[in-house]
Structure 1
């Protein structure tokens, strides 16, 4: 049947309004609905604005109904569609990996800006998840070699899928970094967005995050909030002594403690970088 893009948009909005308002702002709801229509019917934002008439096939109508049901169960739109945009590329995602965040794009941008002319740089991404950091660095810094490390075989399966679809030559390491040391000769850079949300902060988080995203990739115990940062500092001090640069996404509350760890680990230039929201979100260290 034929239907106008605006009418279809409004129908979806009515079907999802109660659920989406619990978790999204008006602007975010608009984005969710546009993603649905673009993914299902290839309708762009312009098509909606000009109220383009489009053919809605039975199979597409059923698919939209299925997506609406999942969204009404508070499942994030990225998992519903099975993909997420990151740094201008489309990455496959599922509940085995975190949904890439805009702040992490900022971390990647920092690295790309500072190392765009580097050659033969060896980079390790610890806790790679979907591979968004590792694969993006591999594509943006083509003269570098990048390793993607995770302790979850399910997460690495998604990383491999993304590397294949994006034609990335990133290399894979399945390892528990807390118990083992990666064997990468002359490694020069470590980048990581490790678990850093405190268990006590659960009550302040959206339910759709708590219900669907992998908890082990999000949370650390309140009694040991620097677990992964301490381990990275230890590795740089004891085994991976050739590492010259460390780039970390952090909990703003612990910026001073993380800076102190890296300073004790031999990094002479350690600084905090704020994200677009003005929060202390990244640590950049060099030696």
Structure 2
């Protein structure tokens, strides 16, 4: 079958469910993964023929996409900060907004003395994308990554090995943890922050295939994780240590207020590429 005909079928089957541009993205990811073809191949070879054997995985993926299964789960990988991560139903799929948070942290830490060890704690590590990306780009970083889910830690350990970084993983619930030793230069977290009332804004491929415990919080106390991590940060950040958060776009000012308790300074709320309040930083006072 002609490759351009397969692309046409992708659009015929998927355009009623996904935006046209997203369907294009699916198609190009699939032909790159299974056939090793670049996205511009149809410009160069408009009449390229795909063998029957090579058609099969393309149509298998199409069937999975029709069921709104995430493309990253189907292919078993996601890209983040120029690295590749294994992902499955036990962890969140890394988002571009989270990349922005990582690049912000890297921008600030790479200006510091590279001979001095930087201790970093990643709370709610999931796939490990934040902690691993920081460790990969900071030769002087010692990273500890925590998650409540044993299965998530297993995914993160796999990704650390895949990306050749050495990270200490800790299984623990930040809401109830009592005995935790160590002081850190940086604590970073992308905790659950989507309120139950916001579920109506979310797509089925997220609701049906990503872990609810990593996404949602009660409408009654949507900042529960931020309150606890701020308190934890006061006890476990070094003086002038920095706390970084990814946050709910609708609760930017409310989350910022948690740091404005006299214990943190140089508080900064940043917007993401879409213009939403998404990142927060505060330095623990000396």
CA drift of 1:20 comes to: 4.5
Aligned residue runs from structure 1 range 1-287, under 5 A = 7-15=2-10, 17-23=12-18, 25-51=19-45, 53=48, 56=51, 58=53, 60-118=54-112, 119-181=116-178, 183-237=180-234, 239-242=235-238, 244-264=241-261, 266-287=263-284
CA distance in 1, matches of 2:255, 2:50: 55
SS of the aligned residue for 1:268 comes to strand
Q: Deviations over 1:231-260 (max 9, x none)?
A: 0111123x3142610110101221122112
Alpha-carbon distance change, 187 to 73 in structure 1, aligned in 2, over 3 angstroms: same
CA distance in 2, matches of 1:158, 1:265: 38
RMSD: 1.8
Alpha-carbon distance change, 228 to 265 in structure 1, aligned in 2, over 3 angstroms: farther
SS of the aligned residue for 1:128 comes to coil
8 A Cα contact 2:11 2:23, kept in partner? no
Extract unaligned runs of 5+ from structure 1. Answer: none
Q: Deviations over 1:3-30 (max 9, x none)?
A: 5xxx32432441453434423x222211
8 A Cα contact 2:3 2:49, kept in partner? no
CA distance in 2, matches of 1:267, 1:281: 19
Alpha-carbon distance change, 182 to 22 in structure 1, aligned in 2, over 3 angstroms: farther
8 A Cα contact 2:186 2:237, kept in partner? no
SS of the aligned residue for 1:259 comes to helix
SS of the aligned residue for 1:11 comes to helix
8 A Cα contact 2:10 2:23, kept in partner? no
Alpha-carbon distance change, 71 to 241 in structure 1, aligned in 2, over 3 angstroms: closer
CA distance in 2, matches of 1:147, 1:75: 31
CA distance in 2, matches of 1:184, 1:193: 21
Alpha-carbon distance change, 182 to 251 in structure 1, aligned in 2, over 3 angstroms: farther
Q: Deviations over 1:105-140 (max 9, x none)?
A: 000000000111433110011111111100000011
**When the two structures are superposed, what TM-score results if normalisation uses the length of structure 1?**
0.92
CA drift of 1:100 comes to: 0.5
Extract unaligned runs of 5+ from structure 2. Answer: none
SS of the aligned residue for 1:179 comes to coil
CA drift of 1:177 comes to: 0.8
How many residues are aligned here? 279
8 A Cα contact 1:273 1:280, kept in partner? yes
Alpha-carbon distance change, 247 to 13 in structure 1, aligned in 2, over 3 angstroms: farther
